Amino acid sequence: MLLSVYYSYASYMNNEQKLMKTFGKRVAEVRKSRSITQQQLAELTGMSVVAIAYIETGKRWARLGTLNKIAKHLKVNISDLFLGF
Q: pLDDT tens, 16-69? A: 999 999 999 999 999 999 999 999 999 999 999 999 999 999 999 999 999 999
Q: What's the pLDDT at 14? A: 85
- Residue 7 belongs to domain with CATH number: 1.10.260.40
Q: What's the pLDDT at 47? A: 97
Transcribe the chain into DSSP letters: -HHHHHHHHHHHHHHHHHHHHHHHHHHHHHHHHTT--HHHHHHHHT--HHHHHHHHTTSSPPPHHHHHHHHHHHTS-GGGGGTT-
Q: How many domains does the chain have?
A: 1
Q: Could you tell me the residue range of the domain that residue 48 belongs to?
A: 2-82
Q: Taking the complete model, does pTM exceed 0.85, yes or no?
A: no
